[in-house]
């Protein structure tokens, strides 16, 4: 399988269907704005209360309120992020199959699979978290073998556990290509992350642009992972870069 050719193909698909970027980019910016509002409100409250902040109890109460607000924002962000990711995967599948997609179809797909996506997210999150707690490497291995789980939930209409098994089986059956793809995605993600950090030096505007950029990466990554997964599921002789007829 020609990973480079697939990455290039997905750039063209993404350019023709730029709406794929909207869910993840929108969620990233919205959550950043909400976080800034909470932090800003806390700072304003500190200034307005003036000398009252000299009281440790009042200061701790304010910190507690801000932490609670950020926790709520984080939880909402997790749900919205899951919906956005599901939408981009569904839209990527449609764009790759038909050449076009829409927010309506993406939302329809994710609503029909939201329960299984949530369960899959919980299971994969727990497994990967435990793995990273065990000296990091097991978490990386778990992430590697389970990387197609969410795609399988959408593309195969599979249940959470079935999708996890499907991801594991697909990676095992395509070990060399999976390793190359996994490393390539980490490398591309690192480039976007570095760009995000550089933009983060610019107060507010740069941070928002950086988050939007990471949202764009999320949309593109969805297109790539769907394309790679469907390619791995095809007979070897018909894969891109194989002797047989290409897609």
Instruction: Map out the domains of the chain as residue ranges.
Output: 3-238
Q: What is the separation, in whole angstroms, between the first and last Cα of the chain?
A: 12
**Residue ranges of the chain whose pLDDT lies below 50:** 51-52, 242-247
pLDDT digits (tens, 9 = 90+) for 96-109: 999 999 999 999 99
Question: For residue 55, what pLDDT is reported?
Answer: 59
Question: For residue 42, what pLDDT is reported?
Answer: 62
The answer, as to whether pTM is greater than 0.85, is no
Question: For residue 238, what pLDDT is reported?
Answer: 60
Question: For residue 244, what pLDDT is reported?
Answer: 37
Question: For residue 103, what pLDDT is reported?
Answer: 94
Question: For residue 13, what pLDDT is reported?
Answer: 93
């Amino acid at each position: 399988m020609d990973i480079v050719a697939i990455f290039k193909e997905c750039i063209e698909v993404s350019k023709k269907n730029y709406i794929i970027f909207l869910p993840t980019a929108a969620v990233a910016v919205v959550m950043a704005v909400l976080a800034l509002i909470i932090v800003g409100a806390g700072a304003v409250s500190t200034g307005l209360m003036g000398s009252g902040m000299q009281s440790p109890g009042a200061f701790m109460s304010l910190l507690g309120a801000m932490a609670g607000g950020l926790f709520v924002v984080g939880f909402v962000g997790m749900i919205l992020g899951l919906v956005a990711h599901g939408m981009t995967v569904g839209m990527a599948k449609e764009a790759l199959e038909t050449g076009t997609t829409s927010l309506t179809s993406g939302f329809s797909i994710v609503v029909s699979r939201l329960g299984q996506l949530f369960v899959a997210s919980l299971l994969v999150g727990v497994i990967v978290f435990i793995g990273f707690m065990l000296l990091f490497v097991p978490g990386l291995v778990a992430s590697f073998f389970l990387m197609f789980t969410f795609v399988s939930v959408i593309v195969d209409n599979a249940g959470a556990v079935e999708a996890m098994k499907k991801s594991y089986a697909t990676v095992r059956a395509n070990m060399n290509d999976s390793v190359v793809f996994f490393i390539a995605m980490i490398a591309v993600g690192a480039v976007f992350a570095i760009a995000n950090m550089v933009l983060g030096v610019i107060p507010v505007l740069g941070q928002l642009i950086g988050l939007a950029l990471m949202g764009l990466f999320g949309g593109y990554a969805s297109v790539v992972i769907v394309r790679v997964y469907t390619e791995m599921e095809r007979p070897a002789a018909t894969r891109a870069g194989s002797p047989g007829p290409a897609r």
